[in-house]
């Protein structure tokens, strides 16, 4: 797909983004929105970013910070534009969004609910931050010292794989 493609295809892609954002009850991150779009249609990442930028410039979507992340939400102008341009989107794409939306959204939320990252303090000192988020709100966060990059990476990987087991153990230990 070239950005010089006909304007109907470009408009269709923007309407798809608006259609998906209209279905989401909570603001979503760029990665989540991209995943939701890619579950329906193959779209180049850079074109996706350009479509988002165009929608932002026209005030059809809003971007703001929540929990340290940029999130997107459809605006009233975006809802009005969607109601006027909804017919541009082929019925098969709407059906694909509608039928797979709940499972794709749940999968996307689960991927984003467990996060971990490490920050170097010096050559051999790292801070590892592990989090659990629910509906874009941080419900658990812990910062841990690691003595090497390898140890920090191991903690990050372990948290991402085992947070659902580790988190209740920590809560149980704190409550006894």
User: Average pLDDT for consecutive 10-residue bins of the chain (176 residues)?
Assistant: 60 92 85 87 90 95 83 93 90 82 68 83 92 80 93 92 87 85
Across-strand partners of 142? 130
- The answer to whether residue 138 sits within a structural domain is yes
pLDDT at 2 (0 to 100): 45
Tokens describing residue 138 = 């941080």
- The answer to whether residue 87 sits within a structural domain is yes
Across-strand partners of 126? 120, 146
Which domain range does residue 94 map to?
7-111
Cα four-point dihedral sign 102, 104, 105, 109: positive
Same domain for 25 and 100? yes
Tokens describing residue 148 = 């090497």
Same domain for 79 and 119? no
pLDDT at 174 (0 to 100): 87
pLDDT at 80 (0 to 100): 94
Same domain for 32 and 103? yes
Rg of the chain over Cα atoms, rounded to whole angstroms, equals 20
Q: pTM for the complete prediction?
A: 0.62
Asked if 125 and 48 touch (Cβ cutoff 8 Å), the reply is no
Number of domains in the chain: 2
- The answer to whether residue 2 sits within a structural domain is no
- The answer to whether residue 163 sits within a structural domain is yes
pLDDT at 24 (0 to 100): 83
Same domain for 58 and 106? yes
Domain closes at, from 57, 83, 111: 111
Q: DSSP string of 3-46?
A: TTS-HHHHHHHHHHHHHHHHH-SS-EEHHHHHHHHHTTS---HH
Q: Is 124 exposed, middle or buried (0-12, 13-18, 19+ CB in 10 A)?
A: exposed
- The answer to whether residue 71 sits within a structural domain is yes
- The answer to whether residue 1 sits within a structural domain is no
Same domain for 22 and 59? yes
pLDDT at 1 (0 to 100): 43
């Amino acid at each position: 797909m070239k950005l010089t493609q006909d304007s109907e295809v470009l408009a269709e892609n923007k309407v798809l983004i608006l259609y998906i954002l209209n279905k989401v009850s909570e603001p979503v991150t760029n990665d989540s929105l991209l995943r939701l779009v890619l579950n329906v249609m193959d779209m180049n990442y850079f074109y996706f970013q350009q479509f988002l930028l165009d929608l932002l410039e026209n005030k059809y979507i809003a971007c703001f910070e929540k929990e340290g992340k940029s999130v997107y939400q459809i605006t009233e102008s975006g809802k009005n534009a969607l109601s006027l341009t909804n017919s541009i989107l082929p019925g098969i794409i709407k059906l694909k969004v509608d039928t797979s939306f709940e499972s794709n959204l749940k999968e996307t939320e689960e991927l984003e609910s467990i996060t971990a990252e490490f920050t170097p303090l010096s050559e051999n000192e790292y801070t590892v931050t592990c989090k659990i988020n629910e509906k874009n709100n941080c419900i658990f966060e812990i910062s841990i010292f690691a003595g090497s990059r390898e140890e920090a990476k191991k903690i990050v990987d372990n948290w991402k794989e085992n947070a659902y087991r580790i988190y209740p153990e920590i809560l149980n230990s704190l409550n006894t």
